[in-house]
Amino acid sequence: MAAPPLMPKATAVWLIDNTKLTFEQIADFCDLHKLQVQAIADGEADIGIVGMDPIVQTNQLSAEEIKRCEDDPRARLKMLKSDLPQPVTRTKGPRYTPVSKRADRPDAIAYLIKTYPELIDAQVARLVGTTKDTIEKVRNRTHWNASNIKPHNPVLLGLCKQSDLDTALRRAQRRVAREEAAQGKSGEGVTTPTPETTAEGEQPEVNLGDQDQPDIDPDAMIRGMG
């Protein structure tokens, strides 16, 4: 997915006020939800944001591109190539969780460790923006609010995206498959030596001194020599 424009909400405000683009087209370009764009247009959200012209101020759209999409509601805006450095997307570390949703994290943790035990703690921590210590407390029921924790899907709670959960599950399943394959190989070709064979599969040496020898009469040997 292409990077969103600089100041996406301000850009959306400008596009709403100055173009005939649909809410869906604006939402797609600005990486916003269609209902969020509609709320901005109705004055129900982000009131007071000053629009930013993506043609003049940021040079991210052309007038021709806007006209093309105005004529075809199914078309999608394509951003102009820019020499400006793109913001770095954070891919590692715990996901930031809004304060209003932090109370839901124990419920999400309980759901993940119960429903998807193949996920390691580091994956659970990234999905819901928590720590391994909290995960361990939820698992062992030593969390301060353990009696009130009820498993809930983190996607439905808004703590992570379904695509992120699916990606984590695919990685976990691949890891489990590799571990099972490694265990299977380590158990192959192991045989226990039998008394008839050595560990190298060779026949054991025979000590002739241990075999039964016929009894010999010394007097008979002397008579034979005479």
How far from the centroid of its chain's Cα atoms is residue 220's Cα? 92
Contacts with 8 (C-beta within 8 Å, 6 or more apart), sequence order: 30, 31, 32
Confidence check: pLDDT of 118 > 90: yes
Cα three-residue angle 23-27-31, rounded to 5 degrees: 175
Structure tokens at 37: 């764009």
Tens digits of residue pLDDT in 85-107: 555 445 455 555 555 567 889 99
Average pLDDT over residues 22-47: 86
Lowest mean pLDDT: which of 75-89, 118-132, 158-172?
75-89
Confidence check: pLDDT of 210 > 50: no
CB 102 within 8 A of CB 151: no
Structure tokens at 111: 């759901």
Please state, in angstroms and as integers, the Cα–Cα distance from residue 139 to each residue in 101, 108, 114, 195, following that order.
20, 12, 9, 51
Query: Where are the chain's structural domains?
Result: 8-71, 99-185
Cα(75)–Cα(22) distance, integer angstroms:
10
Phi, psi of 193 (to 5 degrees): -60, 140
Average pLDDT over residues 31-44: 86
CB 82 within 8 A of CB 60: yes
Lowest mean pLDDT: which of 34-48, 96-110, 190-204?
190-204
Confidence check: pLDDT of 225 > 90: no
Structure tokens at 209: 């001194």
CB 124 within 8 A of CB 165: no
Q: Say which residue, 144 or 90, is predicted with more confidence.
A: 144
Confidence check: pLDDT of 191 > 70: no
Confidence check: pLDDT of 206 > 50: no
Confidence check: pLDDT of 183 > 70: yes
Cα(32)–Cα(161) distance, integer angstroms:
15
Please state, in angstroms and as integers, the Cα–Cα distance from residue 198 to each residue in 99, 201, 208, 211, following that order.
68, 5, 19, 20
Q: Say which residue, 125 or 80, is predicted with more confidence.
A: 125
pLDDT band for 14, please (50, 70, 90 cuts): very high
Helix (H, G, I), strand (E, B) or coil at 16: helix
Lowest mean pLDDT: which of 47-56, 69-78, 204-213?
204-213
The pLDDT assigned to 200 comes to 46
